[in-house]
């Protein structure tokens, strides 16, 4: 079994303030679409957004492929949230039993995203929605994660979900125009380091690099709150061209 714990930011890890903002933003965006719904989060990791979603949804289930990572979420939430180990490509839920399926920063780890989409179509009710957040592969200094299979940009996400009869809308989050001057100046150096395979592969290995680029780090919260950050509205993106202006791509795919 692939060991994801070395490449996953866990609750309590040192991370950048930008990372915390991005986590909050994607759950605030999702929360708007989960009110009074039956919701599932696949690949939930240590579950930073689960408490927030549970307060909004009609029901919430969640799980992760990694038993080791999931145990951290189980320890934090106890019996507040139903957490089970499962593979997003083979979800142990009944047909037409859910309104929303969430998969954040994990689609690129799936050996078959097509199987995941087919499973979403099976478990969702008509009008149900899949919510995706993924690193933007179309940035020129993009650095793929170890264990990843395939990254999906805007056009690829449209193709992936539309092939299964979903209606798709994509959005951009964390514009590169808003990053610090230091980040902007270091982008060409990062691109070269990626090409030469000099970027550390593990979370621990990247900490020194993050301190250099971002400055002081903060602790990843175990559970975000409604006031943990200010929500920044994601930007709608055209379906027919790559986006090169945002670090993160959101996708909302509605089952027809």
Judged by phi (left if over 0) then psi (alpha if -120 to 50, else beta), residue 165 lies in left
Residues 175-210: pLDDT tens digits? 999 988 888 887 888 888 778 887 888 888 788 788
φ and ψ of 126, to 5 deg: -55, 135
Check residue 150 and give its pLDDT.
98
Whether residue 144 has pLDDT greater than 80 = yes
Q: How far apart are CA 118 and CA 116, in angstroms?
A: 5
Q: How far apart are CA 111 and CA 108, in angstroms?
A: 8
The pTM for the full model equals 0.95
Residues 91-132: pLDDT tens digits? 999 999 999 999 999 999 999 999 999 999 999 999 999 999
Check residue 183 and give its pLDDT.
87
- Segment 47-56 shows an average pLDDT of 98
Check residue 182 and give its pLDDT.
81
- Segment 136-157 shows an average pLDDT of 96
- First CA to last CA distance, the chain: 35
Q: For the chain, how many residues are written?
A: 256
Residues 231-242: pLDDT tens digits? 999 999 999 999
Instruction: List b or e across 163-200, with b for residues whose CB sees 16 or more CB atoms inside 10 angstroms.
Output: ebebebebbbbbebeebeeeeeebeeebeebeeeeeee
Check residue 133 and give its pLDDT.
98
Range list of H helices, the chain:
17-31, 50-54, 67-77, 113-123, 154-162, 181-195, 203-214
- Segment 52-81 shows an average pLDDT of 97
Check residue 124 and give its pLDDT.
98
Whether residue 86 has pLDDT greater than 90 = yes
Distances (CA, A) of 26 to 10, 145, 171, 173, 182: 17, 19, 11, 8, 25
Query: In the CATH scheme, what is the code of domain 18-175+221-255?
Result: 3.40.50.150
Parallel, antiparallel, or unpaired for β 235-237 and 218-219?
Answer: unpaired
Check residue 206 and give its pLDDT.
81
Parallel, antiparallel, or unpaired for β 59-64 and 38-42?
Answer: parallel
Neighbouring CB atoms inside 10 A of 247's CB total 17
């Amino acid at each position: 079994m692939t060991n994801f714990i070395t490449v996953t930011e866990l609750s309590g890890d040192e991370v950048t303030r930008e990372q915390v903002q991005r986590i909050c933003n994607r759950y605030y965006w999702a929360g708007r679409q989960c009110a009074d719904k039956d919701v599932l989060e696949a690949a939930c990791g240590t579950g930073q957004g689960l408490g927030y979603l549970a307060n909004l949804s009609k029901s919430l289930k969640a799980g992760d492929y990694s038993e080791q990572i999931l145990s951290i979420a189980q320890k934090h939430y106890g019996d507040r949230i139903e957490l089970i180990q499962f593979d997003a490509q083979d979800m142990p839920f009944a047909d037409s039993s859910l309104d929303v399926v969430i998969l954040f920063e994990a689609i690129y780890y799936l050996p078959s995203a097509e199987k995941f989409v087919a499973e979403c179509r099976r478990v969702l009710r008509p009008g149900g929605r899949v919510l995706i957040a993924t690193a933007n592969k179309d940035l020129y200094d993009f650095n793929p994660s170890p264990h990843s299979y395939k990254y999906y940009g805007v056009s690829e996400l449209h193709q992936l979900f539309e092939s299964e009869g979903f209606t798709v809308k994509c959005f951009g989050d964390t514009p590169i125009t808003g990053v610090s001057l230091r980040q902007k100046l270091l982008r060409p150096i990062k691109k070269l380091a990626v090409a030469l395979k000099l970027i550390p592969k593990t979370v621990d290995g990247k900490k020194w690099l993050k301190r250099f680029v971002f400055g002081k780090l903060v602790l990843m919260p175990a559970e975000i709150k409604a006031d943990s950050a200010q929500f920044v509205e994601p930007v709608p993106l055209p379906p027919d061209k790559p986006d090169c202006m945002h670090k993160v791509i959101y996708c909302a795919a509605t089952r027809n």
